[in-house]
Amino acid sequence: MYIGTSIFLIALGAILKFAVTATVAGFNIQTAGVILIVVGLVGLIASFLLGTMRGDRRREVVVEEPVAPERRY
């Protein structure tokens, strides 16, 4: 799950939790909204953690020293 998907799930869950007042028999829309918010937050945290793990790979840095011209005596 990527950051965009996580943010979408959080927004959709917030809409279901706070904006929708409809009721359905046998299904609580507000609870579904809370579940989507929690899943979105977990996905967002996982995305950040995986992103930092990928960025922490050790990279070999090659430093080239300037070559001095040959001295002629």
Q: Token digits for 62?
A: 């090659």
What's the pLDDT band for 72 if we cut at 50, 70, 90? low
Nearby residues of 35 by Cβ (< 8 Å), 6 or more positions away:
13
- Type of residue numbered 44: L
What pLDDT, in 10s, does the model give residues 15-71?
A: 999 999 888 899 999 999 999 999 999 999 999 998 887 765 656 666 776 666 676
pTM: 0.71
Residue 66 DSSP SS3: coil
